[in-house]
């Protein structure tokens, strides 16, 4: 367990397993969200559908490449017992058994643990896209009214915001574990690549590919979550230019402006809002600790 790759794999495996557990435990929540959004009959653009297909395809390619790299590892250096990475430091005396179990465990782990976690992030991106479309539809309705009915607009917006909060409450726990696993994969990937110990070519390729893939998923999910808050903020900006309804009390107009100026966020377990600043802070913290811990270990 002194090897940073083994230690990192164990920690990431625990996080991915926890994420897999919550995905199974709260699977009914995902069905509820999909059912509610499907009733709204939101039409996704062809460009976004192509992006979703690209995400799904990249997830499959990620699985295939990891299997290929696992096989390459033993062709490159059959004496190295990488089975210890997958069995928490344990190995067997039979080298062929170790090789076979290595490939089977790698395939099983990626197919039934890593891929579902990445598939959830794709689902989360689709949910954020649908919510953004709902906000855009609302803004279009708001701006096309010749004489705004602020009472009705207020009630509609409150219902919309309540719906978004309810979706976030059902997803934020799973989002927490998914993002935590992604951040730790990035951290240990940087630690392994920048470490002083020599690693084989397939290991370096596998680690680099995991870094790029998980960084892409992490950034893309956070960007779409940020677009939810941005689309809600654009409603407040447009509402500030609307005129008062002379047939209604100005109090309704002021109340409407107060309601739409309240921020709407997708969150991490209801605590941290997913914004661009969150992405930059996470990456900055990860790089800082990677360099700091590396310097501490090199001094010792």
142-163 residue pLDDT tens = 988 878 888 899 999 999 999 9
> Which ranges of the chain have pLDDT less than 50?
1, 81
Looking at residue 84, its pLDDT comes to: 57
pLDDT at res. 92: 65
User: Which structure tokens are listed for 275?
Assistant: 């914004």
DSSP SS3 for 246: coil
Residue 202 structural domain: 4-299
Confidence (pTM)? 0.86
Residue 182: per-residue pLDDT = 86
pLDDT for 297:
55
How many CA atoms are closer than 13 Å to the CA of 115, on its beta-carbon side? 18
Token code pair at residue 145: 């009214």
Q: Which of 189, 175, 195 is nearest to 278 (CA)?
A: 175
Decide: 118 and 217 in contact? Cβ < 8 Å: yes
Total of domains in the chain: 1
DSSP string for 107-122: HHHIIIIIHHHHHHHH
284: number of Cβ within 10 Å: 10
Question: How far is the C-alpha of 32 from the C-alpha of 114, rounded, in Å?
Answer: 23
């Amino acid at each position: 367990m002194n090897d940073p790759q083994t230690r990192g794999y164990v920690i990431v495996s625990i996080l991915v397993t926890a994420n897999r557990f919550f995905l199974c435990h709260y699977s009914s929540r995902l069905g509820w969200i999909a059912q509610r959004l499907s009733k709204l009959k939101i039409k996704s653009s062809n460009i976004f559908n192509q992006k979703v297909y690209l995400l799904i395809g990249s997830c499959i390619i990620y699985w295939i490449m990891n299997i290929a790299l696992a096989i390459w590892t033993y062709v490159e250096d059959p004496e190295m017992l990488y089975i210890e990475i997958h069995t928490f430091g344990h190995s067997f005396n039979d080298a062929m058994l170790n090789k076979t179990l290595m490939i089977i465990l790698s395939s099983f782990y990626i197919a039934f643990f890593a891929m579902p976690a990445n598939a959830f992030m794709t689902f989360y991106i689709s949910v954020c896209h649908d919510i953004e479309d709902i906000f855009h539809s609302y803004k279009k309705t708001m701006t096309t009214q010749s004489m705004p009915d602020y009472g009705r607009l207020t009630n509609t917006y409150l219902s919309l915001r309540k719906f978004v909060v309810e979706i976030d409450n059902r997803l934020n726990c799973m989002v927490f574990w998914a993002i935590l696993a992604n951040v730790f994969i990035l951290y240990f990937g940087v630690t392994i690549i920048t470490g002083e110990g020599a690693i084989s070519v397939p290991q370096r390729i596998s680690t680099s590919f995991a870094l790029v893939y998980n960084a892409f998923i992490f950034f893309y999910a956070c960007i779409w979550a940020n677009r939810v808050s941005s689309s809600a903020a654009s409603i407040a900006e447009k509402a500030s230019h609307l005129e008062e309804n002379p047939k209604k009390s100005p109090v309704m107009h002021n109340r409407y402006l107060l309601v739409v100026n309240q921020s709407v966020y997708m969150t991490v377990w209801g605590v941290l809002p997913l914004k661009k600043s969150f992405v930059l802070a996470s990456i900055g913290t990860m790089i800082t600790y990677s360099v700091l811990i590396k310097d501490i270990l090199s001094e010792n």
